[in-house]
Amino acid sequence: MRNFDKRNHFDKRNKKLTYLIKLAFEPGLWFVLFMPVCTILLAQKPVASSWLTAQIFNRLQLAVEGTPDKALLYGAILYAVLIFGLDIAQWLLATASALIENHWRERVNEKLQKMFMQKDYKGNVADHDNPDLVSRRNAAKNVDPVGILKSVISFISTLSASVSFLILLWGFSPVMVFVAVLIKLPTFYFYDKTMKMNRKFKIDSGTLNREKDYFYRIPVSKPNAKEYKIFSMKGYVCDKYDEVMSRYMPFYKSYFTKMAMNNSVLMHYDRIVTIAAEIVIGISVFTGKMLFGEYTLFVAAFNNLAKSVEQIVDFASQFKDLQEQSGLLREYLESRNLYEDGEGCAREVGNVPHVIELADVSFTYPGTDREVLHGLNMTLAAGKTYGLVGLNGSGKSTLVNLLLRLYEPDQGEIRLDGVNIREYNICSYYKAIACVFQNTGKYAMPIKDYVASGRQRDLPRAMAALSQVRLTDWCSGLKHGLDTMLTREFSSEDDSVEPSIGQWQKLSIARAIYKDAPIMILDEPSASLDVDSENEIFHYIRSLAIQKTAILISHRLSNVVDCDHIFVLQEGRLAEEGSHQDLIELGGVYSSLFESQAKYYKTSGAVG
């Protein structure tokens, strides 16, 4: 059994924040250099304006208490003008920096989103089965790297402001510098507690939060609304919502009560420090040792330094969390895949009639311990149509997954033209395969993009594919024809259409036909199709089979009757194989299944 934890999923490296910072550098070096410079400059603004204000007060007090001197007044006015100038300069710098930051942030975000897309796409489908990995991925996606970088930058800004205030305050009294720094250190305890409480609440209530949203969202979609009415689900849903709320509220209550207490302690402590500083410093003015302007500057410097220390403390309490968050991001983005992605392989799928062989293939889904396929041996020759039949859960879709290289067999190998499929370049391999999936994705894109799967759009070919599945009339009935958007997700009713389930199925068949690959896999392509569409589509598939290898899965055994060869799977083993005629004559599983479906058509004869 292959297990998830057997592989070394993540490299543990320590420098987690540097990873993020490296990421931040990518849109351009000058952004990142510009940001701290701006921040440091902006951080000096309070220092400068406190100093300017103090100058005004000093001059005025001298003028009031001493002899009135016009020069003092003009000096005060000049500083007032400077304050205005400083304000405007600060605004300009702040705006410019905000715009640039915005630009940089969007670039980083875009880059990151693309990395996520890449990872989602290249990562193993198997990872979706592992709840642990899924939650890791979700956690990584919830990380806000730009937010983290911003708090790093604001930390730099606080630090630089505190240095300026420190120098300023040192001029008045070195003792007060120590007081300002030391007095705020105890707040670390409260900030740290807040952090922990936040994190704990997030963990404790995460699932409950989603659950509570889930229940009240139920009636807001059409299929749900139908069932809601017919099964009169209101009472149930409301009760369920109340029940989830009653589990959620105790967490929430204790969380916000504690938070309110914590915040109130921090707030009052801050006030005590401010008032104490005013009283202690004020005595110098009271005794006439200091000018009022100097006093305002002194108090401002003390308060600001203390505040900066508090912010630094706050940052320090968050630092671990930031590290952890960027760690999550890095771990996810750099995690290794379960299977090699085969992009480096140079071997191309040759342009020959393809032969697929399964040699002794066994498979267990990663993270589970039930073997789904047991030593399967099959050979599929070129240009033939193969039927794959079996009850639900017999391993048909798993086999398709293995053929599509979404998973790899634990034992044995799958060979294409005599070579293990793992050795082919993945892109070249996928070029050779077209597939109709059982649950086709419902994408919001124009019809032509869907059919041509976004590749260079050959419209006549797309039309031809659509006509094979009898959708021509439907398409030409639409106002925008092939340009019509599928689903009404983004568009108004005029240029979009919501296909029925049967129509989606036809569209996905058309897409496979358009791809025109030498190997074609059809997994329940006709579950929701009407009689004539089904008939025509299978007729078409049979006509294709001359040049292609086709694998057909269907519960309607009438559809596989004409296949060249039929494989009957039973609980992961090949129970029977052969042509329809052979299997009927064999009188085994296949023939009894076939009989159970044919029965009604036969008994109908007796009706007349």
Partner 1 sequence: MRRKLSHNDTIPIREAVPLFFSSLKRICQINRKYVLFSFLYSICGIIPVLLNAFAVSVFNQRIIKGLGEYAHYWQAYYPLLVTFAIMVIYGIWGSVSVYFDEKYRNKITSYLLRDSSSKAAAIDLASFDDPEFFNLIQKGWSEDGAMLVDNANVTLETIMDVTGFIGYVSLLSYIDWKVTLVFIALRVCLYPVNNWIYRLGYRLNNRLAEERRREQCFRNFFSTKGNVAEGRVFDLFDYAQDNYQASHRKIYKATFLHKIKTNSVDLLAYALRSLPLAVGYIYFSICVYKGTVSLANMAMYVALYDGFINQVYNAINGLSSIRGYAERSRYAREFQTIKPGIHTEEDPLKDKVPDLSEGHTVEFRDVSFRYPGTEKNVLEKVSFVVRGNETVSIIGANGAGKTTLICLLMRLYDPTEGTILLDGKDLRDYSAESLYGMFGVLFQDYCNYAVSARESITLSTEAVREPITLSTEAAREDRLAYALKASTADKFVGMLKNGIDTPLARDFDPDGAELSVGQKQRIALARAYYKKAQVLILDEPSASIDPQAEAEIYEAVHQQRGKKGIWLITHRLSSCVQSDQILLFQDGKLIGNGTHSQLFNGNAEYKRMFLLQAQKYGVTQCGI
Residue list 391-450, contact with partner 1 (CB under 8 A):
391-393, 401, 404, 406, 426-427, 430-431, 433-435, 437-441, 444-445, 449
Least Å from the CB of residue 80 to partner 1? 3
- Which positions from 236 through 255 interact with partner 1, judged by CB under 8 A? 236-242, 245, 249, 252-253
Tokens of 291: 């000018």
Cβ neighbours around 286 below 10 Å, total: 11
- Which positions from 468 through 487 interact with partner 1, judged by CB under 8 A? 474
Where helices occur in 373-455 by DSSP H, the ranges are: 396-403, 426-431, 447-451
By beta-carbon proximity to partner 1, the closer residue of 3 and 18 is: 3
Q: How far is CA 429 from the centre of its chain?
A: 28
The CA distances from residue 392 to 229, 436, 468, 571, in Å, are 31, 18, 29, 9
> Which segment (37-45, 176-184, 316-324, 453-461) binds partner 1 by CB under 8 A?
453-461
Q: Does 390 bind partner 1 (CB under 8 A)?
A: yes
Q: Does 377 bind partner 1 (CB under 8 A)?
A: no
Q: Does 71 bind partner 1 (CB under 8 A)?
A: no
Least Å from the CB of residue 424 to partner 1? 13
By beta-carbon proximity to partner 1, the closer residue of 11 and 65 is: 65
Q: Does 225 bind partner 1 (CB under 8 A)?
A: yes
Three-state SS at 423: helix
- 377 with 574: CB under 8 angstroms? yes
Three-state SS at 162: helix
Q: Does 602 bind partner 1 (CB under 8 A)?
A: yes
Tokens of 277: 């500083």
Tokens of 599: 């029965």
Three-state SS at 113: helix
Tokens of 299: 């108090």
- 541 with 550: CB under 8 angstroms? yes
The CA distances from residue 320 to 83, 185, 563, in Å, are 40, 18, 63
Nearest C-alpha neighbor of 551 from the set 439, 397, 331, 322: 397
> Which segment (2-10, 59-67, 159-167, 379-387) binds partner 1 by CB under 8 A?
59-67
Q: Does 363 bind partner 1 (CB under 8 A)?
A: no
* Structure-derived torsion over alpha carbons of residues 388, 389, 390, 395, reported in degrees to the nearest 10: 10
d(CA 525, CA 125): 22
Least Å from the CB of residue 435 to partner 1? 5
Q: Does 73 bind partner 1 (CB under 8 A)?
A: yes
- Which positions from 96 through 155 interact with partner 1, judged by CB under 8 A? 98-99, 102-103, 106, 109-110, 113-114, 116-118, 120-121, 123, 125, 128-129, 131
By beta-carbon proximity to partner 1, the closer residue of 291 and 312 is: 291
Question: Number of C-alpha atoms within 13 angstroms, CB side, residue 325?
Answer: 17
Out of 489, 516, 582, 585, point to the residue binding partner 1 (CB under 8 A).
Answer: 489
By beta-carbon proximity to partner 1, the closer residue of 155 and 525 is: 525
Out of 13, 15, 320, 599, point to the residue binding partner 1 (CB under 8 A).
Answer: 599
By beta-carbon proximity to partner 1, the closer residue of 179 and 273 is: 273
Out of 227, 348, 360, 483, point to the residue binding partner 1 (CB under 8 A).
Answer: 227
Q: Does 66 bind partner 1 (CB under 8 A)?
A: no
Tokens 């504690």 locate to: 258
Instruction: For 420-458, give one letter per residue: b (16+ CB within 10 A) or e.
Output: ebbebbbeebbebbbbbbeebeebeebbbbbbbeeeeee
Q: Does 342 bind partner 1 (CB under 8 A)?
A: no
Least Å from the CB of residue 520 to partner 1? 11
Least Å from the CB of residue 263 to partner 1? 8
Q: Does 257 bind partner 1 (CB under 8 A)?
A: yes
Least Å from the CB of residue 359 to partner 1? 23
- Partnered with residue 389 across adjacent β-strands are 568
- Which positions from 491 through 510 interact with partner 1, judged by CB under 8 A? 491-493, 496, 500-503, 506
SS (H, E, C) 325-359: HHHHHHHHHHCCCCCCCCCCCCECCCCCCCCEEEE
Tokens of 66: 């001493």
Backbone angles phi, psi at 376, to 5 degrees: -85, 135
Three-state SS at 518: coil
Query: Order of strands across the sheet with 385-389?
Result: 433-436, 519-523, 549-553, 385-389, 565-570, 573-578
Least Å from the CB of residue 493 to partner 1? 5
> Which segment (6-14, 85-93, 154-162, 356-364) binds partner 1 by CB under 8 A?
85-93
Backbone angles phi, psi at 358, to 5 degrees: -110, 120
- Which positions from 300 through 339 interact with partner 1, judged by CB under 8 A? none
> Which segment (19-27, 230-238, 306-314, 346-354) binds partner 1 by CB under 8 A?
230-238
By beta-carbon proximity to partner 1, the closer residue of 132 and 334 is: 132
> Which segment (209-217, 312-320, 349-357, 408-416) binds partner 1 by CB under 8 A?
209-217
- Which positions from 556 through 585 interact with partner 1, judged by CB under 8 A? 556-559, 561-562
Q: Does 544 bind partner 1 (CB under 8 A)?
A: no
Out of 57, 190, 298, 424, point to the residue binding partner 1 (CB under 8 A).
Answer: 57
Tokens 């921090």 locate to: 266
- 311 with 64: CB under 8 angstroms? no
Least Å from the CB of residue 496 to partner 1? 8
Out of 1, 185, 283, 316, point to the residue binding partner 1 (CB under 8 A).
Answer: 283
Q: Does 467 bind partner 1 (CB under 8 A)?
A: no
Out of 16, 184, 448, 515, point to the residue binding partner 1 (CB under 8 A).
Answer: 515
Out of 71, 203, 220, 352, point to the residue binding partner 1 (CB under 8 A).
Answer: 220
By beta-carbon proximity to partner 1, the closer residue of 16 and 136 is: 136
d(CA 152, CA 36): 10
Q: How far apart are the first and last CA of the chain?
A: 57
Burial category of 500 from C-beta neighbours within 10 Å (exposed 0-12, middle 13-18, buried 19 and up): exposed
- 241 with 215: CB under 8 angstroms? yes
Q: Does 295 bind partner 1 (CB under 8 A)?
A: yes
By beta-carbon proximity to partner 1, the closer residue of 188 and 443 is: 443
Least Å from the CB of residue 5 to partner 1? 15
By beta-carbon proximity to partner 1, the closer residue of 83 and 464 is: 83
